[in-house]
Structure formats: C-alpha cells, structure tokens
Structure 1
Amino acid sequence: MANRTSAPEKRPGFFSQIRSLFKFTREIYPWLPWAQIAMLVLGVLVGLIVGYLIPPFQVWTLILWGISGLMLGILGAMFLMTRLSTSAMYQKIDGMPGATGHVLSTSLGRNWQGSETPVGINPKTQDAVYRAVGRGGVVVVGEGSRGRLSRLVNDERSKAARVAHGVPVTVIYIGHGDDDVAIADLAKTVKKLPKVIDKATMGAVIRRIESVSQSISSLPIPKGIDPTKVRAQRPR
C-alpha cells in the first residue's frame, strides 16, 4: 500500500490573522473595540460633512463621500490596532526568556544582524546573552540578573573585541533599573547607535565572530517568541 503523503499545513487566512491580532491586542487594551467604532463613526461623519459642503449637493455624491469616509475610518481603525498590538506584544513578552532574541532577530532592520538564539546561557537560571552586529558595531545584550550575567557578558565582550579589533562593543542590560533598557526600547536603542563601520566591514565582523563562536546547540536555549501565542508565566 502506498504511503499517504501528509497534507501541507494550512496557513491562516487574512481575516483569521486579523481576528487573532484583534483578540491578542484586546487582552491588553480592552477599550480597543470602542476606539475602533469611534473611528469608523468619525470617518463617516467627516465624509458626509465634506460631501455636504462641496457643491453641487446631490444625494448620490453624499453617499459616495460617506462611503469614502467609512473606508478612511477602517484604515484608521486598522492602523490603531497595529500600533497597539506592538505595544501589547512588548508588555506580554517583558521578562520572559527569549524576548531579547525575538526583538533582535525581527526589529533591527537591514543595518543590523541579530539572532534569536543566545550566544551564551546559564541553563539553570536561564540568564542569557545575545549579540547583534551592525553599522553601529557589536552590541552584547544581557537578559536576566545583572549580577549573574557578569561572566557571560564579559566573555562575549572580550571575544568580540578580540576578533573585531577597533570596532566598538556596546553592552546593554534588559530590565527596568536606572542603567537598564526596557525590552520595548531595545530596538530603538540599538538603531540609535552612531554608524561607525560600513557594510563591507560589518560583513567581515559577522564572519569573524561566527567563525570563533562555540556551538551551544546542546543547551536548553530559549527560542524566539511568537507574540500572538505568548502567555503570562505561571506563578511559582
């Protein structure tokens, strides 16, 4: 009997994704539906007012302007949900292992390269160190307790300084202390670093660092986070 081939996994459709994003964002911002309804009503009212004021006044032009206002309201409601969903994602993943890797691998843009996999980790405490390389040099990011991260951060900083001589190495700690950077501000902080190397040097630095990096695939490494599936950690 011939083996049955498994059907490919069906990806969620556009409206399914919108519905999931809406539910996810509403968990953090319960007032989202009312704000979106208000934007729809406001858009229709603006369209009707414009249609009434622009001569010559006709019923069908008023209807067309009302529909145009409704479309404008829909765009505004979608834009609002998208912006709030980003903020909701950061609130959800704040303090969760792997949050730093998710941000570095998805939010830095073309001038930076970061991995969702940490370059150093304490398997017992889940304190981890991540690295990003870009036009601003090398950035070492510590996720966890600053005291326990000292050795991991210093090791990674020394390695980066050794193989990328002359390239600045910036250390960032994720947290809410005086000298820490909140996870919501991580991408913005990294991208604000002044550009000190060109793209060719950036590529050379990436290759050098990767060539001397030790494999840590056998360690329990927290992967990146799917922001639509994150859940609050259970109390211990």
Structure 2
Amino acid sequence: MAARSSQTEKKPNFFVQLKSLFTFTKDVFGWLPWALGGILLAGIWVGILIGFLLPPLELWSIVLWGFTGLLFGILAALMTMTRLSTKAMYQKIEGRPGAVGHVLSTSLGRSWQAGDTPVGVNPKTQEAVYRAVGRGGVVIVGEGAHGRLTRLVNEERAKVTRVASGVPVTVLYVGHGEKDVAISDLAKTVKKLPRAINRATQAAVIKRIDSVSQSLASLPIPKGIDPMRARAPRPR
C-alpha cells in the first residue's frame, strides 16, 4: 500500500509550477504582470507587422504571423520571468543565514559538489563556513564578518590542506565589501575558477575530506560533561 501511495503522488504540473514562479517573482517585482503583458503584445504586433510587409498580403497570412508572434512573445515572457525569478531569489535570501549553502548546493552544476549544511558554525553569531569541491579545487566560503570567521576558515583550510595536499584551496567571503563576493555572483565566481583537478582526484578529495569530517564529528565526549553547560570554576 505504501509503495502504491508513493507512486500515486503526482508532482505539480507545469502550469502549477508556472503560477508559483509567477507569484514568487511578483512579490519582489510588482510590475511583473505589466512587463509580461507588454512582451506578449509586442510579439503579436511584430508578427502582424511582418504579415503586412511580406507578400502575399492576405488575411490568413496576417493571422498566421500574428499567432507566430504570440508564440515568440510567450517564449520571451517565460525567459524574462525566469531571469527575474533568479534575481528575486537572491534578493530574498541575501543576508539570511544559510543563503550561501542554498546557492552552493543548487547553482554550481555537476562539476562541483557542495551541501547546504555548513562545515563550521559560530553558534553565538550564526556565522558559518561552507565548502565546495570541484574541478577548480576546494573552495571555502565564509558567511559573515571576516574577523569572526578567521578561526573557522583557518581550521577548515588546515584540514583540507592536510588531507588534500597539492589541491588548490580558494577562500571567499560573501558580503558587500571591496574584497567580498555578492551572493548573486557567488556561483559565477566559483565556476570561473581555472580547472585544477580531474574527476578521479575530485572524488578522492571528497572521500578523504568526508572521512576526516566524520571522524572529528564522532570524537568521544567524556561522561558527565555537557559541553553546552561547561563553565569555568568559580574562585573561592
């Protein structure tokens, strides 16, 4: 029964997804309906104009070209909405914890492997460090202020350098400073890194880093000590 119920679950169809994308983008760009309507009308008028200019000047030719213009207008409207939805996504997630992880895990393509979970977190400030491994080597991305991320970034870089000697390690910081990378340019910046390793080396590096991360995460904690409640002894 469970197998049948899972098979009967249907994904949202194209029009439902299109409506969701339109609503999501319109929340940021309120002028979106007017822009899409203008693009459709422009496509129709261009098609009709071509029908008038190209012989033979017949009603069926004008209607056919007008319909062709409508199809091109729909295609242009969809392309415009897709690009605007990407910009809207960046505007909505910018400055929020986890924005870097979302971009790395969804926008780098198959040549890179990254997760939306940070590899290092400052629990007090919610600043985090993320890691991606790909053809350009290892990329460490800091999300937050540089000063408070120094220790986390250095620890992650030392760990990667220890297990993946010779593989280039690039450190990026997301923000609006002179040396920072905007969240909207993060994926492009990572993809532009020159190719440094092949697929076999990439797989080996990922395996080594994951094994080290798992071993560190599974280190035993002495019984009777709660690291979240540990305090310095009071003077007597």
TM over 0.5: yes
What secondary structure, in the 3-state scheme, does the structure 2 residue paired with 1:61 have?
helix
The match for 2:222 is none
Q: Distance in 2 between matches of 1:145 and 1:212?
A: 27
Q: CA deviation at 1:9?
A: 5.3
Q: Distance in 2 between matches of 1:91 and 1:83?
A: 13
The match for 1:120 is 120
The RMSD of aligned alpha carbons is 2.0
Q: Distance in 1 between matches of 2:45 and 2:167?
A: 56
What secondary structure, in the 3-state scheme, does the structure 1 residue paired with 2:27 have?
helix
Identical pairs, percent: 64
1:18-52 superposed Cα distances (whole Å, 9 cap, x missing partner): 11111111121111111111111110111111111
The match for 1:173 is 173
Q: CA deviation at 1:149?
A: 1.0
1:39-94 superposed Cα distances (whole Å, 9 cap, x missing partner): 11110111111111111121112111111101111111111000000011001000
* Contact 1:112–1:132 (CA under 8 A) maintained in structure 2: yes
What secondary structure, in the 3-state scheme, does the structure 1 residue paired with 2:172 have?
strand
In the superposition, the TM-score normalised over structure 1's length comes to 0.86
Paired residue total: 215
Q: Distance in 1 between matches of 2:69 and 2:37?
A: 13
Q: Distance in 2 between matches of 1:44 and 1:144?
A: 48
The match for 1:24 is 24
Q: Distance in 2 between matches of 1:216 and 1:171?
A: 23
Structure 1: state its 5+ residue gaps.
218-236
In structure 2, the CA distance between the partners of 1:165 and 1:203, relative to structure 1 (3 Å rule), is same
The match for 1:105 is 105
1:89-111 superposed Cα distances (whole Å, 9 cap, x missing partner): 00100011111111111111121
Does residue 157 of structure 1 match 2:165? Answer: no
The match for 2:77 is 77
In the superposition, the TM-score normalised over structure 2's length comes to 0.86
Q: Distance in 1 between matches of 2:32 and 2:166?
A: 49
* Contact 1:104–1:132 (CA under 8 A) maintained in structure 2: yes
Amino acid of the residue matched to residue 162 of structure 2? R
Higher RCO by CA contacts (8 Å cutoff, separation 6 or greater)? 1
The match for 1:230 is none
Q: CA deviation at 1:120?
A: 1.0
Amino acid of the residue matched to residue 131 of structure 1? R
What secondary structure, in the 3-state scheme, does the structure 2 residue paired with 1:141 have?
strand
Q: Distance in 1 between matches of 2:137 and 2:36?
A: 42
Q: CA deviation at 1:183?
A: 0.7
The match for 2:142 is 142
Q: Distance in 1 between matches of 2:208 and 2:14?
A: 41
Structure 2: state its 5+ residue gaps.
219-236
1:29-40 to structure 2, matched below 5 A, reads 29-40=29-40
Give the helix-richer structure, 1 or 2: 2
* Structure 1 stretches of at least 4 aligned residues deviating more than 6 Å after TM superposition: 5-8
In structure 2, the CA distance between the partners of 1:92 and 1:216, relative to structure 1 (3 Å rule), is farther
Deviates more, 1:116-125 or 1:183-192: 116-125
Q: CA deviation at 1:15?
A: 1.3
In structure 2, the CA distance between the partners of 1:36 and 1:216, relative to structure 1 (3 Å rule), is farther
Deviates more, 1:65-74 or 1:6-15: 6-15
